[in-house]
Amino acid sequence: MNIHRASGAPNSYSDVEIKVFSGSLYLTSDDGDGTIVVTRAACSYQGKIMICFPRSAALVQDGESRALNLKRGTIYFNETDDAQPMMFSSQKLPAHSVMLAMSLGDGTFIDVKGRIDEVVRE
């Protein structure tokens, strides 16, 4: 996960845990200190890839949740066992993976590309 703040140097986090639980996306840093949670999104399928436009997100850190001023974003999910082609691109989204890009009102940009660690449906 890369977080590019308009006011400073970018932060990169490796080994981010990616979970989907009850329709929400959880992105937790490897040290467990922070989690970005996308709680609501409008989603549809393009082929076998689910594409979502996040509507609300929060940062959970130090036992507190703070809403993020989400400006826009796109999330691509591939829950299949095979890499899937992305529309209007020569790129393929790997099996069981997610690709996310979000921008916040303060100019911060967040991008993630990685394998989904766990999916829990209710």
Count of CB atoms situated within 10 Å of the CB of 91: 12
Residues facing residue 87 across a β-bridge: none
- Distance separating alpha carbons of residues 28 and 41, to the nearest angstrom: 19
- Distance separating alpha carbons of residues 67 and 19, to the nearest angstrom: 19
Residue 79 has which token pair? 């829950």
Q: What's the pTM value of the predicted model, to 2 decimals?
A: 0.90
- Distance separating alpha carbons of residues 27 and 7, to the nearest angstrom: 23
* 14-67 pLDDT per residue, tens: 999 999 998 899 999 988 889 999 999 999 999 999 999 999 999 999 889 999
